[in-house]
Structure 1
Amino acid sequence: MSAIAPDLINTAAALWSEGFTATQIGERLGLTRNKVIGLASRNRQLFPGRTEGAAEKEQQELAQIESLWGTGKTQAEIAQSLGKSFSTVNKMIRSWPERFPKRSKKDLNSVKAAAKPKAVDVPSPPPRRKPDPSVFSPIEGTTPVLLWEAPNSACRWPVSTADAPEKAVCLHVCGVDAVHGRYCAHHAKLSFGPGTASEREADRLLLALGGA
């Protein structure tokens, strides 16, 4: 069995102290896994024992750091995100240069710009429907009555006596005898105009509330 140079042993010990597994150390130094394990067992002062699962934990933490590194975060930001010290993160990054390629400021800006949520175009609301002012004019030859004075049998269609009924608050109703539900024959026909029932009702409410 050929002797292993002291410098190689020291390098292996340094990697061991940083959490590298025997397989990983062997791959870096051109040794077999068993040879690294043999080195560790013969040089316990350089290769202190590690708790079970320590290497796996190191690799999990390394993967987390690598993932955050890929999003463009700085070492300080990574340390803060993972609750670790800056020196710990820096040491792991320096120990694995192949997994943490150097980044220019331009690269960082590009990565962060790509990760930034894109603005969503919100479509403009449809134009507000306006009621036809003529439908709220009194029927020719009739006299509108105030809403609170109209008998139960009166047509409840809102009407306005103003010159611009679309801009006035309707306090009057048709007043003609209702023959179709709440409305007279004329206004019952208007109530089934274009649009849905809710849209037609909205037209009436708009004027009744003074909005046009």
Structure 2
Amino acid sequence: MAWTDERVELLKRLWSEGLSASQIAGRLGGVTRNAVIGKVHRLGLSGRATTSRIKSHRPRPRLANAAKRQTRPARFPTNGNPAVRALYSPDAEPFTPTVEELVIPMAERKSIQTLTGSCCRWPIGDPQTAEFHFCGKDKVPGLPYCEHHARRAFQPPQPRRREREQVETVRVALARNEARNETETTDA
């Protein structure tokens, strides 16, 4: 159907009442939702009355509540990517290498440009300093690190608490059973 003056006026009235494009298309008949949206844009209809939808179940916080919330420290502070956090936090601690780090001679140190497919890719030092380098030792086949760094990176999973308790329960039961067997053999 064509857009007659009466249909355009009805469209404007229904749009200002807050009906959706689908609802307007249903009332007008003979047009699709997309046709209604296109006509609304061509007419330049922008401001809409509030819709008849139910308000959200959570009211927005008032300014007083928002101010209180901002003064309370966050339980889990998030400052973005932890790898670059020190760049933007002036009070952050400077990087300190771990005590158990391998000492790599200057001649064997690798930069990102000198790494090859067989080199350990374990980063050592602060990337913001000139002393930053990679381990560069021969890597373990199938892993990106040498044997020392692979042990640090891929630690075996620790048994879960429940499993440890079950193992302890079995151990106690076996000990009781052994004690019972010993007393039965000495009594006989």
TM range (shorter): under 0.3
Instruction: Give the TM-score taking structure 1 as reference length.
Output: 0.23
Instruction: Give the TM-score taking structure 2 as reference length.
Output: 0.26
- Where is the helix percentage greater, Structure 1 or Structure 2? 1
| Structure having greater relative contact order (Cα 8 Å, sep ≥ 6) | 1
